Structure 1
């Protein structure tokens, strides 16, 4: 199956101000976030991306802008299903303030039971994001082959849900996962998902092909990963 690179958007003005941005319009990258976005083409140099898919929110669009400029022929798709969780009445509020809300204890320890006031259930968020990622992965396989690499730019909780699903973890454990802004996490689906890399903020040359696609043996990587694999 293809390799999915999960990119969390760069740092935003809400991140640096300690606010829960959610789907609030106008949440842009801050100066450091723009630096992170500008570094992305170099980090992905040589990685043959078949496609890029992104959340419609401004911070994801801005994160991908330098990569799109560097690769004008890259197919790019907006996907509504990988938008940020709808935090409802919590949207735009200070995280320090929200930490005092009784519901936050459940968010930390039993997120599968949480529905945000006037918003979305975390379980529903996880289901839509996992379904979207797997459908796009299958589409990339059909259109570009089993060895294709593609990029999905989305949000922190979404990536936590995707990693938890790939590792077979209950959603109640997804708070143990913490992807940083502009980090890349790599997952390959198949008979069982493989988490190839988590939260990478540097070199991504691992995903530059080093042998012809037809000669690559995925069996050794998935069915007999003795010694940690290569």
Structure 2
């Protein structure tokens, strides 16, 4: 099973340099709406079988054009919602960098708990559980490899990627997830394979078409085989 982790397009909060968190009504800006339309061209030709999204408006807006093009009804999952930043929600980033907790978030995020909010370790636990639950559900429904999209938020995506890489959460700030970027993880019975990180190019097709099942019913990835195009990942993806 292969999940495309899609970050929402650029939001009004991104351009205002505020921490949106779970604030209601934070929409895409003009650039974000263009990015949402471009997602259709970038990944709409892939055989995507399901879309799961965060309940927040900026994710709803981001997947709407893709869902319309594919004739899919997105599933809403609270577990891939934005971090609950608590008392930090809505504040200017320029103010937050002066807070003592900011250094913890940057240097030891596994220990960071936002005032009146949640901890980043908690975020990773809920998000990874959600992704793996949907992966198992879709595998059972479709009896084989399928592609699906999870539209969520930057810190959530970075936490899921860190888990897939087997990297401690304290290193997740080394991962980038820009607005409207796509990161790709293929989950198998052996281990996850990280195919792309922070892809922002014109299209995303190479190596993502589900592979035919082997005679014993397993895909090549499940047998530990990684196609050559999947081996070259990471820094070169943009």
**Please, what TM-score do these two structures have when normalized by structure 2?**
0.89
Question: Which ranges in structure 1 are unaligned for 5 or more consecutive residues?
Answer: none
Cα distance 1:83–1:172, how it changes in 2: closer, same or farther (>3 A)? same
SS of 2:206 mapped into structure 1: helix
Deviations 1:63-104 (A, max 9, x none): 0111122122x2420001110010000000000110000110
Report the Cα offset of residue 222 of structure 1: 6.2
Deviations 1:26-72 (A, max 9, x none): 11000000000011111113201110000000000000111122122
Aligned length: 227
Contact 2:44 2:69 in 1 (8 A): no
Correspondence 1:101 to 2:99: yes
Contact 2:176 2:197 in 1 (8 A): no
Report the Cα offset of residue 209 of structure 1: 3.3
Aligned to 1:161: 159
Cα RMSD, aligned residues only:
2.0
State which drifts further: 107-116 or 141-150.
Answer: 141-150
In structure 2, C-alpha distance between the alignment counterparts of 1:100 and 1:218, rounded to whole Å = 50
Contact 1:46 1:208 in 2 (8 A): no
Cα distance 1:95–1:222, how it changes in 2: closer, same or farther (>3 A)? farther
Aligned to 2:205: 205
- What are the residue-to-residue correspondences of 1:118-197 with 2, within 5 Å? 118-190=116-188, 191-197=190-196
Report the Cα offset of residue 218 of structure 1: 4.0
State which drifts further: 115-124 or 201-210.
Answer: 201-210
Contact 2:36 2:65 in 1 (8 A): yes
Cα distance 1:43–1:168, how it changes in 2: closer, same or farther (>3 A)? same
In structure 2, C-alpha distance between the alignment counterparts of 1:166 and 1:218, rounded to whole Å = 19
Cα distance 1:210–1:137, how it changes in 2: closer, same or farther (>3 A)? closer
Question: Which ranges in structure 2 are unaligned for 5 or more consecutive residues?
Answer: 233-238
SS of 1:205 mapped into structure 2: coil
In structure 2, C-alpha distance between the alignment counterparts of 1:220 and 1:54, rounded to whole Å = 26
In structure 1, C-alpha distance between the alignment counterparts of 2:55 and 2:227, rounded to whole Å = 41
Query: Which 4+ runs in 1 deviate beyond 6 A?
Result: none
Aligned to 2:30: 31
Report the Cα offset of residue 224 of structure 1: 4.7
**Please, what TM-score do these two structures have when normalized by structure 1?**
0.92
Cα distance 1:101–1:222, how it changes in 2: closer, same or farther (>3 A)? farther
Contact 1:50 1:75 in 2 (8 A): no
Aligned to 2:235: none
Deviations 1:172-201 (A, max 9, x none): 110111110000010011211100111111
Aligned to 1:113: 111
Cα distance 1:208–1:185, how it changes in 2: closer, same or farther (>3 A)? closer
Contact 1:13 1:28 in 2 (8 A): yes
Report the Cα offset of residue 17 of structure 1: 0.9
State which drifts further: 74-83 or 157-166.
Answer: 74-83
Contact 2:144 2:213 in 1 (8 A): no
Aligned to 2:81: 83
